[in-house]
Amino acid sequence: MTIAEIAEAKLPGLPPSPRGVAKRVQSEGWAARTTQVRKRKGRGGGLEFSIELLPDEARAELIRREANPGEPVNVITLRENDPLIGVERDRRDARLHVLGALDEFRIANGLTISDAAAMFPDAWSGRLIAAPDDIRLQIPSVSTRTLYEWRTIRRRDGDDALGIDRRGRPAKIEAAADGAVVTALLGAIAKQSFLSADQLGAYLRDRFGDALPEISERTIQRARSKYEAEHRNALLAIRDPDKFRSTVEHSATNSTFAAGLNDLWQIDASPADVIGSRKSAHWR
């Protein structure tokens, strides 16, 4: 938008006159932000400014007036044999929904992806974009940077990668030595659960040398917590076989749900034995 167009729009948080807008432009140094400014095409010249430079309330109001939200996006449905667990599925599906809404918003307004990504966060936060409540609960707001990150992850690693929370994710350890580092770490904590992060790091560096990337103690702590949770039953079977047999090996499954102690009983007997024992108990 030019200075005159910004003034004419009479947006909240901005002066209503071209002179006032020009002063704002000068005082905040808009012209120096080369990635958000371009020369105006056509007669008269001048500059055009990206709406990213406008105050939040002005940008949101402009998008509310002018933008076409596009058609509602269908809610992503779960697949059979989905490799992700519940919370990861929800995260993936919510992010896929937002990316679908971004594409619809871009097409409906004839925008480039950079312009759409700059405008979409305000449209989403201002509820211009229709979305189910569970999606909004997962993603109440989104930034331009985050949209770019999700697009990159999806293009590089596929849809399911959007479900993985990468905060503190020990990716360096998982990729090192074709997964052998993870195996060694699991073996170490299975046999000697008392080892500290510093001791585990020294052990891994001694064993793998240059094949192990630079990793911090904090990264090792995160990796350990992650693997302890993911492989808790296997680790229990190694550390305490008796406890594993009594608490895990004969536990309920998805088809026989048990929420607490004594919710599920198992008996090593034939149906006839069970019926006979019930009759005996009845007559006693």
Q: What is the pLDDT of residues 66-85, one digit of tens each?
A: 888 888 887 666 666 677 77
20 to 6, 28, 49, 59, 154: CA distances (angstroms): 10, 12, 15, 17, 44
For residue 259, pLDDT over 60 is answered with no
Mean pLDDT value across residues 240-268? 62
pTM exceeding the 0.75 threshold for the entire prediction: no
Q: What is the pLDDT of residues 144-169, one digit of tens each?
A: 999 999 999 888 878 888 887 655 44
Neighbours of 108 (CB within 10 A): 14
For residue 135, pLDDT over 70 is answered with yes
Amino acid at 222: R
Q: Give the start-to-end residue ranges of the domains of the chain.
A: 3-54, 86-163, 171-245
Tell me which of 165-169, 185-189, 212-216 is least confident: 165-169
Share of the chain above pLDDT 90, in %: 18
